[in-house]
Amino acid sequence: MTAEDKQELKEKIIAMIAKSEKDVIDLEEMSAPVSPENSIGRVSRMDAINNKSVMEAALRNKKSKLGKLRLALKNIDNADFGICKDCKNPIQAARLIYMPESTQCIRCAGR
């Protein structure tokens, strides 16, 4: 990976981190507790509780990805960045562009 490629990837990671931070804030608002005093019907309340669970799962996933993106940004200048942790071969450039937090090549991730 050239220095120019790393710089481009670094900019992409920074943009992805900013978007993920905004998404986390939005998901935290959407996963707020469902008030029992709300005068909505029982079915509507059950639906609201189900939606809250879905939002909480999405929030956990987004926070996990955000942590991985921050780690990728921190490690991008390391010599082993972009090297598969399992087979030690270079991770495909397209995979790093799509998922910069990847630590495995496509073949090893599929196992």
> Per residue in 2-31, pLDDT tens?
788 889 999 999 999 999 999 999 999 888
Which pLDDT belongs to residue 59?
95
Is pLDDT of 38 > 60? no
pTM assigned to the model: 0.79
Asked if 20 contacts 62 with a C-beta cutoff of 8 angstroms, the reply is yes
pLDDT band at 111, cuts 50/70/90? confident
The CA distance from 70 to 32, in Å, is: 26
Q: What is the mean pLDDT of the chain?
A: 88
